Amino acid sequence: MTPDKNFRIKKSIKTMVALFKGTTESRNGFRHAMIDAQLCEEAARRAALKSKDNKDNNRGRGAVAPATE
């Protein structure tokens, strides 16, 4: 996955990258790993919401009184 033009990195990740000690290459590698993790988290959240919506849409919408015996 790749971030689009509207991608906003979380503030906590920005802070971790700013405080990261090491070479520029290792900092950039860490930043890319954190961006990938954030993208995966957001994709999983969307998938969970989509599956929840699909479960709700499979039910009938008509008002039917419960069966009484």
pLDDT in tens, 17-69: 889 888 999 999 999 999 999 999 888 888 887 776 666 555 555 555 556 65
φ/ψ (deg, to 5) at 19: -90, 0
Which residues are CB-contacts of 31 (< 8 A; sequence separation ≥ 6)?
A: 13, 17
Query: CA 52 to CA 47: how far, in whole Å?
Result: 9
Cβ atoms of residues 43 and 1 within 8 Å = yes
pTM of the entire predicted model: 0.62
Q: What is the pLDDT of residue 67?
A: 61
What are 1's two structure tokens?
């996955």
Tokens 């009484």, located at residue: 68
